[in-house]
């Protein structure tokens, strides 16, 4: 966000008392992070930044934390691993000593791993170092919240920590990390980045060094583009030593590339997009409708499937809405469309919808058994691999399909799907696979022929 004033120079001056010298890019980033408005409040109540590994991104945090200590603020520094949070504690303690402060006389330190603490006596400033849990931080208040290794920051941890700075007169949260890898568990960092880049977050800032698309790992220009510390402590020789077979890992870790889908999804983006059609195919026959009530009972999704002239099945999602909106939107669609069959799954709502369909004199739906649900999931997987399915690449459906994993159903080796992320509703895909199952399984009635 635009600003005219910043507290960064004082922070840089304090940092230089350690005998270290900040890089130009670090000072420039701190200037944005510590921007203040006319009332002396932080311009960015939240600031996130993503920088490839070994560039010195955590020094940004240390610069701000030293300033916070000197101004008597209460800071919570969190990390994903105990080793990372302890390393930050050790480094900050070392920086205080380099500034001439003596432990016991000028500051106090508690070294219990996972619960480290530094207090500067003259100002009362405190930094607590913690590893993140789903309950850590509850009931405590801080002025500054640091989320290190933010790519591992989960929604459960966020719900426990985001309110810890609410009572502060001038709160700020800083998130720093690298783009998520296929094994990263967090979603908050990626979601925050997306919301800021699309202008959907107030009082928020974002910075990243990255490539926009997968890039040749030998592209030296890309190394300099994505690594602001090249020419300082990073050089071409060091990066050459890192090069290996894994092109994706190099792009994420060294070039700052943000994958647009989860690499470990049971259905990959390539597999799904191979089924995409650029124009609506010629449709034959009536619609088959799949309706899925979410496992938590909060949402209901509806999709359709219809056969095409080429013999494939075209699938499309109609909507996914809160069950609080009722079933009338579903009834209206079923009443107006040419529907061959409706398959409904989800104990939380299937019987109620079936009853409402009966009241409106609609054809009785299919309520699949567990065995049939297992069959439907198998048919969906086979339909994707055998390319019997086609679709128009709806963003919502594509996102859910390419970020799912398998789960066991029953004791006979059956499987279903679940979303890899808490904020993506798998019922969207479940409704589509139900519609596909219905369209592929229900045989059209043959016309009676009479011969003489």
How many residues appear in the chain?
452
24-33 vs 8-16: helix axis angle to the nearest 10? 140
Domain boundary among 166, 190, 208: 208
Residues 380 and 441: beta-carbon distance below 8 Å: no
Same domain, 289 and 394: yes
Report the distance separating Cα 274 and Cα 269, nearest Å: 8
Report the distance separating Cα 322 and Cα 300, nearest Å: 6
Same domain, 55 and 183: yes
**What total number of domains does the chain contain?**
2
Same domain, 158 and 280: no
Q: Would residue 316 count as lying in a domain?
A: yes
The pLDDT tens digits along the chain (452 residues) read 999 999 999 999 999 999 999 999 999 999 999 999 999 999 999 999 999 999 999 999 999 999 999 999 999 999 999 999 999 999 999 999 999 999 999 999 998 877 899 999 999 999 999 998 776 665 689 999 999 999 999 888 998 899 999 999 999 999 999 998 766 778 899 889 988 988 888 999 999 999 988 899 999 999 999 999 999 999 999 999 999 888 888 999 999 998 765 456 788 888 999 999 999 999 998 999 999 998 778 899 999 999 999 999 999 999 999 999 999 999 999 999 999 999 999 988 999 999 999 999 999 999 999 999 999 999 999 999 899 999 999 999 999 999 998 888 876 668 899 888 877 889 999 999 999 999 998 665 555 666 76
Same domain, 196 and 284: no
Same domain, 292 and 197: no
Write out the residue range of the structural domain in which residue 127 sits.
5-208
Q: State the CATH number of the domain containing residue 277.
A: 3.30.420.240
Q: Would residue 25 count as lying in a domain?
A: yes
Report the distance separating Cα 41 and Cα 31, nearest Å: 14
Q: Would residue 252 count as lying in a domain?
A: no
Q: Would residue 179 count as lying in a domain?
A: yes
Report the distance separating Cα 176 and Cα 188, nearest Å: 12
Domain boundary among 155, 174, 208: 208
Same domain, 179 and 284: no
Q: State the CATH number of the domain containing residue 29.
A: 3.40.50.300
| Residue 145 burial (10 A CB sphere; 0-12, 13-18, 19+) | buried
At residue 148's C-alpha, the angle toward residues 121 and 151, to 5°, is 165
Domain boundary among 208, 225, 256: 208
To the nearest 10°, report the CA torsion of 416, 419, 423, 428: -50
Residues 281 and 308: beta-carbon distance below 8 Å: yes
User: What is the Cβ-side half-sphere exposure of residue 298, based on CA atoms within 13 angstroms?
Assistant: 5
Q: Would residue 37 count as lying in a domain?
A: yes
Same domain, 158 and 24: yes
Q: Residue 320: beta bridge partners?
A: 301
Neighbours of 390 (CB within 10 A): 19
Same domain, 306 and 397: yes
Same domain, 281 and 152: no
Q: Would residue 238 count as lying in a domain?
A: no
Same domain, 283 and 192: no
Q: Would residue 431 count as lying in a domain?
A: yes
Identify the helix (H) or strand (E) that includes residue 343.
Answer: strand 339-345
Q: Which residues 6+ apart lie within 8 Å of 210 measured at CB?
A: 50, 179, 226, 255, 256, 257, 258
Backbone angles phi, psi at 437, to 5 degrees: -60, -45
Same domain, 308 and 195: no
User: pTM, whole model, 2 decimals?
Assistant: 0.62
- Strands 125-131, 74-79: pairing is parallel
Same domain, 289 and 186: no
**One-character DSSP codes across 83-137:** HHHHHHHHHHHHHHHHTT--BTTTEEEE--TTEEEEEETTTTEEEEEEE--SSTT
Q: Would residue 340 count as lying in a domain?
A: yes
């Amino acid at each position: 966000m635009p600003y005219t004033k910043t507290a960064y120079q004082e922070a840089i001056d304090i940092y230089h008392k350690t005998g270290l010298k900040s890089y130009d890019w670090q000072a420039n980033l701190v200037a944005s992070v510590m921007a203040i408005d006319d009332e002396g409040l932080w311009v960015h109540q939240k600031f996130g930044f993503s920088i490839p590994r070994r560039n010195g991104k955590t020094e940004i945090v240390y610069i701000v934390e030293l300033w916070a200590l000197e101004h008597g603020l209460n800071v919570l520094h969190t990390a994903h691993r105990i080793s990372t949070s302890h390393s930050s504690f050790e480094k900050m303690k070392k920086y205080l000593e380099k500034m001439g402060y003596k432990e016991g006389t000028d500051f106090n330190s508690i070294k219990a791993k996972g619960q480290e603490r530094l207090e500067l006596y003259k100002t009362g400033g405190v930094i607590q170092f913690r590893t993140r849990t789903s309950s850590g931080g509850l009931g405590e208040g801080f002025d500054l919240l640091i989320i290190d290794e933010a790519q591992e920051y989960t929604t459960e941890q966020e719900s426990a920590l985001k309110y810890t700075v609410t009572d502060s007169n001038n709160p700020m949260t800083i998130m720093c990390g690298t783009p998520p890898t296929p094994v990263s568990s967090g979603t908050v960092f990626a979601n925050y980045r997306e919301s800021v880049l699309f202008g959907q977050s107030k009082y928020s800032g974002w910075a990243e060094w990255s490539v926009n698309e997968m890039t040749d790992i030998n592209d030296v220009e890309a190394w300099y583009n994505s690594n602001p510390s090249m020419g300082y402590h990073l050089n071409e020789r060091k990066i050459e030593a890192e090069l290996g077979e894994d092109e994706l890992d190099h792009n994420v870790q060294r070039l700052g590339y943000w994958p647009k889908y989860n690499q470990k999804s049971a259905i990959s983006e390539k597999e799904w997009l191979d089924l995409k059609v650029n124009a609506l195919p010629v449709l034959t026959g009536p619609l088959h409708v799949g309706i899925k009530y979410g496992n938590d009972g909060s949402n209901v999704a509806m999709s359709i499937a219809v056969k095409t002239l080429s013999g494939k099945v075209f699938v499309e999602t109609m909507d996914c809405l809160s069950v609080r909106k009722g079933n009338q939107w579903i009834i209206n669609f079923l009443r107006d469309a040419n529907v061959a069959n409706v398959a409904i799954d989800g104990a939380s709502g299937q019987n109620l919808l079936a009853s409402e369909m009966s009241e409106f004199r609609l054809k009785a739906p299919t309520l699949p058994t567990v065995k049939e649900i297992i069959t439907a999931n198998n048919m969906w997987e086979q339909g994707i691999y055998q390319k019997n399915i086609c679709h128009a690449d709806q963003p919502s459906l594509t996102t859910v399909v390419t970020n799912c994993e398998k789960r066991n159903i029953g004791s006979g080796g059956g499987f279903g799907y679940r979303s890899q992320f808490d904020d993506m509703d798998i019922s969207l895909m479940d409704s589509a696979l139900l519609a596909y199952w219905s369209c592929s399984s229900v045989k059209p009635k043959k016309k009676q022929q009479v011969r003489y």
